[in-house]
Structure 1
């Protein structure tokens, strides 16, 4: 839907004229920036998220995405929601000033501080609709792959035992759940130099805060030192268990989300190398499972 088809059916644009620019990014939707150009007040500058494909294949709930986007706005870190049209596959949100971050931006301590502040605000905000657990999500993705005969890389399922070790270790000191985005790669942080917003709530749900931190560390390619700084920016004075939990949740992110890539490689109509995307995350997980410090992380996460 890159041409703006059906935009005239949106209530916020009724009787208006506008210009459309497609924004980069988005592997399960097309994002259109729409600005009114008719001279009427109020002028509108919005983003229309146009979803495509089968959301159930990836575990996406568009109704929950809408409600959680509203909650993120209420928490002060999300874009305002102007209109939701599930019949058109469209969610209209306000355009946020600033720019989408890239991985290298997190080497700036000020950027990391602002990003962590936004994540804390989201986690302290209204509870989300639904829950997210990567152990359950991975099991569902793996079932989909098996049922449909989708391709998996050699050796993927050989890590069932250490994966279960991670699950048990994280359960020992579980501290409850908070509203999480669960997909905070760099591009989902919008930063204007003084403030950071968080966008894209397709996979949002209440979850362990350490998954949120670990997911960003994994997606943005943080070094061990950056992961430590990121954990400290969020917690202030994290415990040894906090550090270990974030690192284990980074492993969970890589191992679980790799299956998302393998499903998309088989099912998505987009011209994108989802197989390599998934394989990159799988290789990160394999390295983490094989790391000599893996057993120590399990012990520290569980408080042993």
Structure 2
């Protein structure tokens, strides 16, 4: 993609990034170039070059993202990941705009689901997640139950679509919440957004975690369940990763993962219905949400559903 200099922007996005660049004191009077970075389902991403010496990654919050994202909390989590040794260097933060500035990680690329067919990538990713999950508590706690309840209210507020079996989905959600609260939550810092593109890889399969916008203290098993869900792991691979992460495989852990996978799909399906109503990005949120709803139903209708709830 073509580099542009400040003052050359022609579209809304380019004018927006130029306005942000003008607010970074350390870059005043320097040669600034920028170009878009592909990817992202709710924000616009930019690579910025200063004096041709060093490049940075700048993320501009998308329209409506304030409904989901507490930017100060995301910034805290980004710095925590850096401290854990599995995050990107955080260079700056513009709190009024909610814009974070990171060092551009040369030699790394966004992973794809195919990369996780390699055991080395899976093991390194699990180690990175565990390091972040095992760190000290974050300021923000937002469990998967909080997230779903918030999204359901937001769908109603923006007039978003709801599926015909919404009442059934909410009954299954309530059953899962009741069972988990009775069993007890293991609240730890979680990314809460473990899709493949948020794992950066180098040529040696080293992993760096990026994008902590949804980070908060949450149930530990949700972090792994969402990751398994996003990767589409086979059952034997899931068990391998459970043992890698927890050091054991047992019916309780497998049950917690299974229930949390259903809740992960319900959460992101509901999120998509909100985005369909408010986002300006060119992405088929309804198709994405419909797919997620279908996967949630597969587990909610599973013959082992009630058995999983008793084993939490």
Q: Distance in 2 between matches of 1:172 and 1:89?
A: 37
1:143 corresponds, among 132, 153, 171, to 153
For 1:68-107, what aligned pairs fall within 5 Å after superposition? 68-96=77-105, 97-107=107-117
Deviations 1:197-223 (A, max 9, x none): 111111100111110001111122223
Q: Distance in 2 between matches of 1:126 and 1:99?
A: 28
Aligned to 1:124: 134
Does the 8 Å contact 2:64/2:278 carry over to 1?
A: no
Does the 8 Å contact 1:45/1:94 carry over to 2?
A: yes
1:20 corresponds, among 34, 44, 48, to 34
1:266 is the counterpart of 2:285 = no
Q: Distance in 2 between matches of 1:164 and 1:256?
A: 13
Aligned to 2:18: 5
Aligned to 1:191: 201
Q: Runs of 4 or more off by more than 6 Å in structure 1?
A: none
Q: CA deviation at 1:74?
A: 1.1
Does the 8 Å contact 2:108/2:201 carry over to 1?
A: yes
Does the 8 Å contact 1:12/1:82 carry over to 2?
A: no
Deviations 1:252-282 (A, max 9, x none): 1101111100011111111110001111111
Structure 2 length-normalised TM:
0.89
Residue 186 of structure 2: SS of its match in structure 1?
coil
Residue 102 of structure 2: SS of its match in structure 1?
strand
Structure 1 unmatched ranges of 5 or more:
none
1:206 corresponds, among 191, 196, 217, to 217
Question: Mean Cα displacement is larger for which, 1-10 or 235-244?
Answer: 1-10
Q: Distance in 2 between matches of 1:202 and 1:281?
A: 20
Question: Mean Cα displacement is larger for which, 76-85 or 173-182?
Answer: 173-182
Deviations 1:114-135 (A, max 9, x none): 0000001111223212012111
Deviations 1:75-96 (A, max 9, x none): 1111121111133442101122
Deviations 1:4-60 (A, max 9, x none): 31213213423321332321211221111112344xxxx322101111213332x21
Does the 8 Å contact 1:107/1:226 carry over to 2?
A: no
Q: Distance in 2 between matches of 1:47 and 1:162?
A: 41
Deviations 1:153-181 (A, max 9, x none): 22122222222221122223335311111
Q: Distance in 2 between matches of 1:160 and 1:50?
A: 34
Structure 1 length-normalised TM:
0.91
Aligned to 2:9: none
Does the 8 Å contact 1:74/1:125 carry over to 2?
A: no
Q: Distance in 1 between matches of 2:91 and 2:156?
A: 40
2:120 corresponds, among 68, 90, 110, to 110
Residue 114 of structure 1: SS of its match in structure 2?
helix
State the superposition RMSD in angstroms. Answer: 1.7
